[in-house]
Each structure stands twice: as C-alpha cells, then as structure tokens.
C-alpha cells in the first residue's frame, strides 16, 4: 500500500523558515517524480514545487521561486521542502504527491494527508 | 500560465442523477494533458481521470472524462452518496495549474 506521511508543519512568524518532510512507502521511491501541492484554508489547490526521480531537475511555482527549495533523499525514501522568507499567504495545508509517471509536473496518483503551515504574527 | 475555469461553481443534484462538470482552459492544453480529482471534506484529492479520458486505477466506470483542446468535461453517470464532493481539473501540458473547483452537493 502506498503511503505518504508529511511532517514539519507549524506556526511561525513572517520571515521565518521551516522544513517539511514526506516519508514514502509502498512503492519504489527512486523511480518516481514527486511534488508539493498546497491548499489554503477553504481554498483550492496550488502546485508548489516538483522534483525528478533522481533529484537533479526541479521546478517551482512563481509564487515560491527563490524562497522555497525542494530536495529528496532516495536512500531514506524522503522528500523535503525547505521554506524560507515565509509570508502570510504561504499559510496552507501542504501535501506531498506522487507523480503517476514521467518526469514533468503532472497528474498525481497518491497524496499524503498533509501538514499544516501557519504564518502569522 | 494556463488558466482553468470550472463551471458551474456549485452543482446541486440528487443521488442517481447525472452530473456534468466543465473545465475550460485559456489556451490549448498540450496533448490533452488534463486530469480530474475528487476531494471529500477533510481528505486529500483523489485522481479520477488523466490525459482527459483515462480512468485512474480503481476508479468506478460511472466516472468518465472527455474533451480536447480547451474544453473538457467530467461526467458522473449516476451519482452515489459518496460522490458529493469538490472536483478539480488540472492541466499539465504547460507546467501545471489547477482549476478553482466545482462543488457537487445535494
């Protein structure tokens, strides 16, 4: 059974930093590209960042480019999102999502339950 | 970026009825790379359809997707109680973006 378990969310002030993690199980992690997708409270879905299966190619939404960094440790089946210079508008539930197949950001066939990030003074 | 518009915003139907949801793109979606998701309250999204018309693994055949270019449709042939949820479309032909969602309620 595929499982994605996010952690690392919390409450922090504007300008702060946070590192999210997502531990994967039930599939061969190093064969699949992965993404982070967020959902502000009561709002829709927003794709944030994406990384290739090997970790050498990354993509970012314009809203987070230069502030967020995605990475992965295939030896530990773990995906990361380093979030710096956080803003109130980054407040959201952050989901880790598995790409169904292929390299580029696209359709996600498995999602975690999410970890909540709240940015407020 | 490609902007997706979903209509209607809310669809009020009864169990057993047919639901037709629309997703329109601001530009042609390359290779019809268009997906549909279902999200129930308190749950993550669930992939229903990819590449406009291909059902994802384990998805019941009452869900079907159609369309090409800029106009796409998700059809639920006979609504079951568990189908009342929010539905999002996503294009992944040029980077990726999601639509604002359609809520299907009773």
Q: Using CB atoms within 10 Å of the CB of residue A5, give its burial: 0 to 12 exposed, 13 to 18 middle, 19+ buried.
A: middle
Q: Which two tokens stand for residue A99?
A: 């790409």
Q: Chain B residues with CB inside 8 Å of A26's CB?
A: none
pLDDT in tens, B65-105: 999 999 999 999 999 999 999 999 999 998 999 999 999 99
Q: What whole-number distance in Å separates Cα of residue B38 and Cα of residue B102? A: 10
A108 touches chain B (CB under 8 A): yes
CA angle B74, A93, B2 (to 5 degrees): 45
What are the Cα distances from residue A16, in Å, to A65, A80, B91? 16, 17, 32
pLDDT confidence band for A102 (50 / 70 / 90): confident
A103 touches chain B (CB under 8 A): no
Is residue A83 over pLDDT 90?
yes
**For a pLDDT cut of 70, what percent of chain B falls above it?**
100
A106/B92 touch (CB, cutoff 8 Å), yes or no: yes
Q: Chain A residues with CB inside 8 Å of B100's CB?
A: 44
What pLDDT, on a 0 to 100 scale, did the predictor assign at position A50?
96
| B32 phi-psi bin (left φ>0, alpha ψ -120 to 50, beta other) | left
Closest by Cα among A32, A89, A42 to A61: A89
pLDDT in tens, A11-66: 999 999 999 999 999 999 999 999 999 999 999 999 999 999 999 999 999 999 99
What pLDDT, on a 0 to 100 scale, did the predictor assign at position B49?
98
| Residue-by-residue DSSP string for A74-114 | TTTTEEEEEE-S--GGG-EEEEEEEESSSSSS--EEEE---
Which of B33, B47, B97 is nearest residue A108 as measured by Cβ atoms? B47
| A7 phi-psi bin (left φ>0, alpha ψ -120 to 50, beta other) | beta
Is residue A96 over pLDDT 90?
yes
A112 touches chain B (CB under 8 A): yes
Count the residues in chain B.
Answer: 106
pLDDT in tens, B21-72: 999 999 999 999 999 999 999 999 999 999 999 999 999 999 999 999 999 9
């Amino acid at each position: 059974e595929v499982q994605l378990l996010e952690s690392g969310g919390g409450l922090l002030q504007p300008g702060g930093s946070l590192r999210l993690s997502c531990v994967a199980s039930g599939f061969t992690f190093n064969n699949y590209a992965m993404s982070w997708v967020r959902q502000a409270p009561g709002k829709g879905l927003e794709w944030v960042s994406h990384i290739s299966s090997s970790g050498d190619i990354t993509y970012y939404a314009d809203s987070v480019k230069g502030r967020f960094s995605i990475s992965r440790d295939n030896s530990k089946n773990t995906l990361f999102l380093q979030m710096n210079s956080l803003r109130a508008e980054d407040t959201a539930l952050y989901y880790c999502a598995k790409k169904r197949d292929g390299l580029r950001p696209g359709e996600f066939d498995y999602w975690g339950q999410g970890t909540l990030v709240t940015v407020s003074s | 970026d490609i902007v997706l518009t979903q209509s209607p915003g809310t669809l009020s139907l009864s169990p057993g009825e047919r639901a037709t949801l629309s997703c329109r793109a601001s530009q042609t979606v390359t290779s019809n790379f268009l997906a549909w998701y279902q999200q129930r309250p308190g749950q993550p999204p669930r992939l229903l359809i990819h590449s406009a018309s291909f059902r994802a693994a384990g998805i019941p055949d009452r869900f079907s997707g159609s369309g090409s270019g800029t106009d796409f449709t998700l059809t639920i042939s006979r609504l079951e109680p568990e189908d009342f949820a929010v539905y999002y479309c996503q294009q992944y032909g040029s980077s990726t973006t999601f639509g604002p969602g359609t809520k299907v309620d009773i």
